[in-house]
A = this chain, B = another copy of it.
Amino acid sequence: MSEYSKDYTMDEMLTVLMAREVRNDDVMIVGVATPCVWAAFTLAKVTHAPDAIFHYIMGNTYVFEPRQVSLLYLEMNTARAYKFQNSGECTLESLPSDTLTTIEWFRPAQIDMYGNTNNICIGEWKNPKIRFPGCAGIADFSMFYSRGSFLYTPRHDRKTFVPKVDFISGVGFPDGKPSICGGSGPQCVITNLAYLTFDNETKRMKIGTIHPGIDLETVKKSTGFELIIPKDLKETKPPTEKEIKLLRGKVDPLEIRKLEVLGGKEREELLNQVIEKELAMEKRFPNLLL
């Protein structure tokens, strides 16, 4: 066993926890603008899931090799494909036949206790206070997957965890009923505070583990509904030294994953740094990690 890291950051905790959910026979679906997800899948691939396969929405490709996470050259990664499909059907065709298992991470803007999610708007749909980009494929696919759907957010607060989402664009376990389309439904929500899961019986969200240094009260206060709390509350296993070393040294040395976590000035500075570094690269195929 590798020792646990002592200086990991929150983005690293998120990424490592997401990586740990990947199984060796998964197809890992990578959407757009989700560097944490990409970093997590890549980390999984170079640690415990060497046979897992990337499926890039970006390229409509299945890709076998892991490469360094990149901001500008994602498309180059997706081009190294052994399956290049001709159309948007790839998206539809990755809806697994029962012989395929997939893992896809969704980041909801709002989520309720049954794992219903909202990526559409805050306020009334017709006159929204905030209009979000839209739900992309969440409404289509989240309830299909036999392995279920996987959720994460670096913003565990009462704006995200709400009693009732303003628009259901991803279906969880409505009213505590099993997933309506045959999939396994939401499996977990990984946040900056805790690893959340769903109760087998009631289908309500419950605390799986709490991250080191976070107390129960903080989690409760940051959640807009009542969470089920296990009697024997455990702490999340933090990233190991090995995971951190790989993440920082190889998988995402430019820290692009942090763009999902930072805000304001800090975020802009990081963005500029990454752009500068990547534009300066002569070779624009990100490093192969084998």
B-binding residues in A (CB < 8 A): 85-86
Contacts and interface: CB of A to CB of B under 8 A. Distances in A.
2 contacts: A85-B86, A86-B86
A85 B86 CA distance: 8
A86 B84 CA distance: 10
Contacts of A86: 85-86
Contacts of A85: 86
A62 to B, nearest CB: 14
Nearest to A87: B86
Within the oligomer, what is the number of copies of this chain?
2
A107 to B, nearest CB: 32
A72 to B, nearest CB: 30
A85 B87 CA distance: 11
A84 to B, nearest CB: 10
A97 to B, nearest CB: 15
Nearest to A84: B86
A79 B85 CA distance: 19
Nearest to A86: B86
A85 B85 CA distance: 10
A59 to B, nearest CB: 16
A86 B86 CA distance: 8
A86 B87 CA distance: 10
Q: Report the 2 A-B pairs with minimum CB-CB distance, sorted nearest first.
A: A86-B86, A85-B86
A37 to B, nearest CB: 28
A87 to B, nearest CB: 9
A105 B290 CA distance: 56
A274 B149 CA distance: 60
